[in-house]
Structure formats: C-alpha cells, structure tokens
Amino acid sequence: MEFDFTQQPGLEDRTVRPGEDLPPLVSVITPYFNGGKHLRQTFRSVVNQTFPWFEWIIVDDGSTKQEDLDLLNEIAGRDGRIRVYHKENGGISSARNYAIARSCTDYILPLDSDDLLEPPFLEYCWWMLQKNPGAAWAYTESVGFQGQEYVWRHPFDPIRLKKENHLTATALIRKQALLDIGCYDDSHKHYNEDWYAWLKIVARGGYPAQSSGDPLFWYRRNDTGVLSIVREDPAVKRENQEMISAAAAQVTDPRPPVLYPRSVPFDWSAPKLSDWDRHTDKGGKTHILFLFPHLEMGGADKFNLDLISRLDPQRFETGIITTVPAANTWQQAFRKVTSNIFNLPNFCDSGDYAEFVSYYLKSRRVDILFVSNAYLGYYMLPWLREHFPKLAIVDYVHMEEWYWRGGGYARTSAMAANVTEKTYVCNSATRNVMLSHFGRTPESVETVHIGIDAARYCRDAVPAGQLYRELGLEPTRPVVLFICRLHPQKRPFLMLEIARKVAQKIPDVVFAVVGGGPQEAELKAAATGELKHTVYFLGARKDVRPYYRDAKAVLICSLKEGLSLTAYESCAMGVPVISADVGGQKDLIDDSVGKLIPCLQSESADFDQRKFSDQEVAAYAEALVTLLSNPALQAEKSRCCVQKVQRSFTLEAMVDRFQQEFQRLTRDASVVEKRMEMSRRLQQCAPLPAELYVSHLRAESLESELRHGPAAESVLAKGKRVLKEDGPAVFLKKTAKWFANQLRRS
C-alpha cells in the first residue's frame, strides 16, 4: 500500500491527558516567529502524543503579527503543559537556547512550529534512550510533505554527516549532550544550526539510537526560512560552509549508531517487569490492548481493522503492539482509529519486548489483552497472567494449520488455555478441532464469524466494467475471479490447471488474478502458452469491489482456510463461490451460494505440491462450467449469496457480540475471581512462567540465526560449492550435519 501523504498527524484532536499531575519527563522546545499559519495542527500533533508527560516551551522570537501572537496565547491557554516566553528577535538558535535554559527535564525535543509528530514519536524515542544510556539522541524516520513528498529512510552514517546533513532537527536529545557543546551556536543568525550541532555532538563521541520502519516525524518542506537565506545569499552561504567544514574536521573517530531493528546476542535474561508508576487518563473507558504479529494486507488483519475501527469509541480505548519485523503496510489504516501503535522490532530489542508490554499495561491501566496470531505473545501470557491478576486475556484463532508447527496458532492457543478467559474462532470447523484435537472445553471456545460490511460490499454501489477496461477485454467474456495472496496455502498452481480445463469447454473464459505474494513471479511464468489469453494478472488492489462486480464466479481452491475473507466479500457482492471444502468454508458456502469441492491433498504432506489429481481438477472445472453456462443459475445463487450474508454474516453482528463479551469480562465478578486465582497459582510456580517465555525466545533466536545469521550465509556459500562438486546426496548429508552441530552448540 502506497504511503498516504494526506494522512497527516494533528488533523484532529485526540488529546492524551496524564492520569495524575506529575513533573514532566521531556521538554519540547519551539521557536516561534509569526508562525500562526500551521500552529493549530502542530499543537494537536503535540497534545496527541501517547507519552503525555512533557512540557512544551514556546519562545516567541519577536513576532510582529498581532494575530499570530493572539493565536499563540490562545493555544497556551488550552493546555497547562505549555509555557510561552517572549523575547527580542535573535534567531532560531537563540530561541532554542532560551528554551533549554528554562527547561526542567533531562531530554530536549526541538520542534519547529509548522512540523508534526505522529502520536507515538515521543514514546519511541523515550524508550530508545532508556535502553541505550550511552546514546546522545534518539529519532525515527521522517516524512517530507507539502513542498516535496517523500519518506526519508536513511540509516545514520557519521561519515556521510561530514559531507551532507541527512538528519532533521527533531530528535529527542539528552540535555547534557547539548550543554556539553554549549547548546546551539547563536553567534550567527543564519546558518545550518542543526547540522552544526550534530557534528559537534558526534565529535565528542555522541551517537544516536535510530528507529527504522516507522516514519513518525513530518517535516514541512517550503522555500522560506533560514535555509533559503543560506542557499541564496553568497556571503552567508560561504560563512555557513566554513563553519560546517570546521565542525566536520573535528569528527575523527565517530562511534557507530544503534539502528533498529537489530539483532543482539541472546543472554538468557529473564523478562523484566516494568516498574513504571505513571498512567494516562482513560476517561472511564475500557482499554483493550491488541497483540498482533504485524499490520499487513490479509484476511486476519482485515478482521483486526474491522473490529478495532467499529468498537464504540465512547466506551472503548484501544492500542496495538506488533511483535514481528514487517513492512506494516496497513499501519496508516490502523492509525486512523488508534494512536497507540507500537511495532516492537522497530525500536526495541527482543529481550525487552516483555518489559515494554508490561510498561504499556501499567501506563494505560489496560483492562483486556486481545491476542491474535502473535506467536511470541502466546508464550508471554503465563508470565503476564502471573503479574497482572486483574487483566482479562482472550485470543482469536482463524484456523488450525497442520503444516506449520503442528497446528499453528490453534496449538499455541491450546497451550495457553488455562491463562486465557476465552478463545474465539472464526468458524465452526476450527472450534471442533480445538475441542476434539486440542482438548478444549466447549465453554472455553466460541465461534464468532468475521462478518462483512454489507453496505460497502454491495453490487449496486459499484459501476460495472472496470476489470474489462483494465485488461482490454470484450465485456461478453465470462470472468472467474481468483483473489488472494499468491502463497502455497492458496494453491495458485491448481488454479492454472482448473483454468486450462475450463477453457476447453468455454474458450473465451477469463481467470482474473487479483493479489500479490511470494509465488507471483513464478505463477506468471507458468501462465503462458495456451493460458496466455485465459489467465490475466491484475496485481494487488486496494479496492477489490470493482473486480467482484464484473465476475461471474469466484474460485477458492486453497489447501487451508479458516473462513476466508474472499468468501465473505464475494457473497456480499452477489458472486457465487466455488470453494475447497476446507476449514470453516462450509459455514458460509453451500449449494445455495456456490459449491464445495473436496480437497484431495494432505495439508501436512502436500504443502506446495504442484501435482494435482485429475479428479480434483475435474470437480472444480465441472462446477465452474455448470455455473458459467447457466445464467438463470447464476442469478439464483447471486440472490442467495446476498441474503445469506445479510441474515447471518454482518460486521455489525460480529462487533456487537465482542462488545457484549468485553463488558462481561470486565464486570462479571466470578470471571475476575477465576483469573486472580490463576495468577496466585502461577506466582507459586515462579519462575516457571518466565522460563517458558525465555526458552521460546531462545528457540526464535536460534531459528533466526539458522536462517539469516553469518553462519547461515557461510553454509549457503559452501553448500553451493558442495552441490556443484559432489552432488545432491553429499550436499544433503553435510547440510544435515551442520544443522545438528548448530543445535548442539545452542
């Protein structure tokens, strides 16, 4: 998903208030000179910070416009954390130094009056400085907007800094680091004051901690201000260059930065319980923390987004913590509905994940922890239950996966069954597996179908013809839609065989593939020859409704599903579904809305197996040919699709059920007492819960080393040579021996 530059922070007021009146921990400092044009948005971006323990010192540097001064006074009167000072005009450096001298904390955040902060900016930087006491400052990636639009993703490089300023002014800086260099040099009014200060800090051995993956600072680009004078005035430009060159010459032995995400040696340290004693004001709401692996395109994250975005904001406050390194391409969509989003790998070492989670639980006084697909999170639950007796813990499982870790998240959910209050699943088949295979009790697992926004996924709300126009096809050709992530689980190569078979009976049929994934390139290469004019690729699409609108049928031939999002969307749009009879598909798909086809491959034995039985291919092809050849049958199934969704599978019903459950979890005294009793039992078992989590961390660390570490790179190079010189048998034998040695040493 492309970055949306219109989704700027500070467009709405989400002010976060401290729960108590306590001394500030961070000082935001802002020089102000006739800066009223963007001040309201900057104000909102500051008071929206998820870390509310700050003071904001604004120094009016001799403003000459009365309306800008009036606005400044108005803003100051709206929040007691703001202090305004007035002085004669002396330039940015002079104003910053004036603010630093009056600050009462150990951390300084320079922020211009037109720049913006995403809500977690302060909290990310605060955490990085707490965990890296030697770092002089902490900062995140940034966004350029207005005059130029870009996402600035450049790791800190002290050698590059000597020649080019690749840093912004806005970072959380230890005040002592600024005092050690005499703060900002205010003997000159027009020069690169930020670049000069960074060089002086680096020359004294200073280095940063930098977060990558989350651009949390927005830098407003325009052609006015100090830098424009530096660029355009030859004398000023020459003097500026002399200052920068002299400061750069002092950087002779710079120290390396701390760059997140990073890999650190595993040291078997027990998880640390945060001793944080401050909290934010919940305003009487129930606070729910959602623990996810990532925020990426897919059915699971679509469910997450639908649930969080539709919870009653007057009753519930939400936050998200993710645990897996990822691009988090849906993060902006989630940020529309919650300010509390923390992607742990981007600012935190894995050994500190548990401490941050416990810090979050304390600082927000969280009522409910909701876990879904967070593998690491499941192993943290016994430790959390031990230390947070009043915390309600629930989880949501989309499917069991026998090809992955002996059952996938269904297995880890069962492992943690005694420390969770309830497990919710998206289909009845998964519930049956939880009961029959994993020994769960009937009352501990409930089916709550994901549901669909029937108003949005409405056939009449979308104009016809877009798919045909994009592909340049005749609108009379019947379209079968294959919409999914192109991954072995979805069996996209089976789709090719089905397309080949259907085309023998309906030569002008179109199989339109919407989605990307790890097998996309390989699949495109295979869809040539006789399939060239049958299978077409549209790539991933943000809005998939126009493609459902033009389709006559949807094909789902997965090896494994829970109850797929595609099935919901298709039925809501009135498109019949031909689906594999796997997982919980039968909860929605039957002969009235399409057809279920028996899966003739083994989930565990045939994962990514590309040889398919003629019987299975023929069954899919026959169902599609029958449907595509009979317009009356299509119309009847289409009508039934819409009726079935509206009757039993809406988002409103799903969200209403969860809101009822969240209320029960926090108000039912017997439920509260039960979890407190489990907490007491786990306290008696200590340090077992902590050791369980540490052991899992070690297993994850070892797996990462085997896949991505230097040893893996070395064995890969050796393996290529052995494979070439000695053949596959010797290669496999030596590789197995290497893995055994790695495991033994660990």
The pLDDT score that the predictor gives to residue 16 is 96
The pLDDT score that the predictor gives to residue 698 is 87
The whole-number average pLDDT for the span 78-83 is 96
Percent of the chain with pLDDT over 90: 84
Give residue-wise pLDDT tens across range 471-524.
999 999 999 999 999 999 999 999 999 999 999 999 999 999 999 999 999 999
The whole-number average pLDDT for the span 36-61 is 97
Using the predicted structure, report yes or no on whether residue 547 has a pLDDT greater than 80.
Answer: yes
Give residue-wise pLDDT tens across range 337-358.
999 999 999 999 999 999 999 9
The pLDDT score that the predictor gives to residue 186 is 86
Compute the distance between CA of residue 662 and CA of residue 394 in angstroms, rounded to an integer: 10
Using the predicted structure, report yes or no on whether residue 290 has a pLDDT greater than 90.
Answer: yes
Instruction: From residue 361, give the alpha-carbon distance in Å to each of 114, 270, 394, 656, 670.
Output: 33, 18, 15, 25, 22
Least confident interval from 248-252, 489-493, 729-733: 729-733
Using the predicted structure, report yes or no on whether residue 718 has a pLDDT greater than 80.
Answer: no
The pLDDT score that the predictor gives to residue 729 is 64
Which of the two residues, 378 and 225, has the higher pLDDT score?
378
The whole-number average pLDDT for the span 187-199 is 86
pLDDT class of 730 with cuts at 50, 70, 90: low
Q: Which fold has domain 26-252?
A: Spore Coat Polysaccharide Biosynthesis Protein SpsA; Chain A (3.90.550)
pLDDT class of 158 with cuts at 50, 70, 90: very high
The pLDDT score that the predictor gives to residue 715 is 54
Q: Which of 108, 57, 96, 106 has its CA nearest to residue 184?
A: 96
3-state SS assignment for residue 259: strand
Domain boundaries, the chain: 26-252, 286-451+656-690, 467-649, 709-745
Q: What is the CATH number of domain 467-649?
A: 3.40.50.2000
- The tokens for 318 are 């939400």
Give residue-wise pLDDT tens across range 569-595.
999 999 999 999 998 999 999 999 999
Q: Which residue has the tokens 């090719």?
A: 496
Using the predicted structure, report yes or no on whether residue 393 has a pLDDT greater than 80.
Answer: yes
Q: Which of 459, 390, 450, 378 has its CA nearest to residue 414?
A: 378
The whole-number average pLDDT for the span 195-211 is 97
Q: Could you say which of 3.40.50.300, 3.40.50.2000, 3.90.1150.10, 3.40.50.2300 is the CATH number of the domain covering 286-451+656-690?
A: 3.40.50.2000
Beta strands in 478-593 (DSSP E): 479-483, 510-514, 535-539, 553-556, 577-580
Beta strands in 557-691 (DSSP E): 577-580, 594-597
The pLDDT score that the predictor gives to residue 2 is 85
Give residue-wise pLDDT tens across range 674-708.
999 999 999 999 999 999 999 988 888 777 666 55
- List, as one string, the DSSP characters of 341-405: EEEGGGTS-GGGHHHHHHHHHHHHT--EEEE-S-HHHHHHHHHHHHH-TT-EEEEEE---BTTTT
Q: Which residue has the tokens 């579904």?
A: 577
pLDDT class of 743 with cuts at 50, 70, 90: low
The pLDDT score that the predictor gives to residue 299 is 80
The pLDDT score that the predictor gives to residue 159 is 95
Using the predicted structure, report yes or no on whether residue 619 has a pLDDT greater than 90.
Answer: yes
Phi, psi of 627 (to 5 degrees): -70, -50
Give residue-wise pLDDT tens across range 163-172.
999 999 999 9
Pair type for strands 510-514 and 479-483? parallel
The pLDDT score that the predictor gives to residue 713 is 52
User: Are both 26-252 and 467-649 of the same fold?
Assistant: no
659-667's contacts with Cβ under 8 Å and 24+ in sequence apart are 659/311, 659/312, 659/315, 659/316, 661/394, 661/422, 661/424, 662/286, 662/288, 662/316, 662/368, 663/286, 665/367, 665/368, 665/392, 665/394, 665/421, 665/422, 666/286, 666/367, 666/368, 666/392
3-state SS assignment for residue 326: coil
Using the predicted structure, report yes or no on whether residue 620 has a pLDDT greater than 70.
Answer: yes
- The tokens for 428 are 């009845």
Least confident interval from 49-58, 141-150, 316-325, 717-726: 717-726
pLDDT class of 262 with cuts at 50, 70, 90: very high
Using the predicted structure, report yes or no on whether residue 333 has a pLDDT greater than 80.
Answer: yes
- Cβ-proximal residues to 587 (8 Å cutoff; 6+ apart), any chain: 427, 428, 429, 447, 449, 563
Helix/strand/coil (H/E/C) assignment for every residue in 375-388: HHHHHHHHHHHHHC
The pLDDT score that the predictor gives to residue 700 is 81
Least confident interval from 136-145, 173-182, 292-301, 641-650: 292-301
Compute the distance between CA of residue 218 and CA of residue 122 in angstroms, rounded to an integer: 13
Give residue-wise pLDDT tens across range 407-456.
999 999 999 999 999 999 999 999 999 999 999 999 999 999 988 999 99
The per-residue pLDDT of the chain, averaged, comes to 93
